[in-house]
Amino acid sequence: MKNILIIATDGFEQSELMKPKSILEDAGAKTTVASLEEGTIKGWDDGNWGESVTVDMTVENVNADDYDALLLPGGQINPDVLRMNKTVIETICEFNRQSKPVAAICHAPWLLIEADIVTDKTVTSWPSLRTDLSNAGATVVDREVAVDGNIITSRNPSDIPAFTQALQDAMSMRTKLEAA
């Protein structure tokens, strides 16, 4: 069974956490939601506060060794808050150092910029982040999913099926390489 860490806080784009989480769990994965504080976090859904999600642990208690991949949902508020947290950025860097899949959708590539892991990578995102990504040294494309090594990015909620499939494919490929 694959273990997938999801890092989010209040203001995550509801569909970008809930739909991939559901798809991955339906495929047999175990997901863990980590956030800045214990309790629950509230999604953002179509211009209003949405559903709450239970936090399984705080980011301070995360050990990247315990997970096969990292999922970073977007929304404007969520990644903007998370990118200011040193532990969140260190955790993203650790997943990257271990060459584990790091999947970021919509505004979540802001976190990849803050972690300094997009230089010379081909990525995509919500349109308003594309200049930021380019300035950070990434090659920016406009397509539903971009995969470059262990970095997986997508633009928006309509890309969730391709985004989640790319994450599943990356985990499968990693398993095959580790078994070889």
The catalytic residues are 106-107
DSSP class of residue 162 equals: H
Q: Alpha-carbon distance 31 to 178, whole Å? A: 21
Q: Report the distance separating Cα 153 and Cα 143, nearest Å.
A: 9
Give the pair of three-digit tokens for residue 100.
């584990």
Q: List for the chain the helix, strand, coil content (%; round to 5).
A: 40, 25, 30
55: left (phi over 0), alpha (psi -120 to 50) or beta: beta
DSSP labels, 70-129: EEE---SHHHHHHTT-HHHHHHHHHHHHTT--EEEETTTHHHHHHTT--TT-EE---GGG
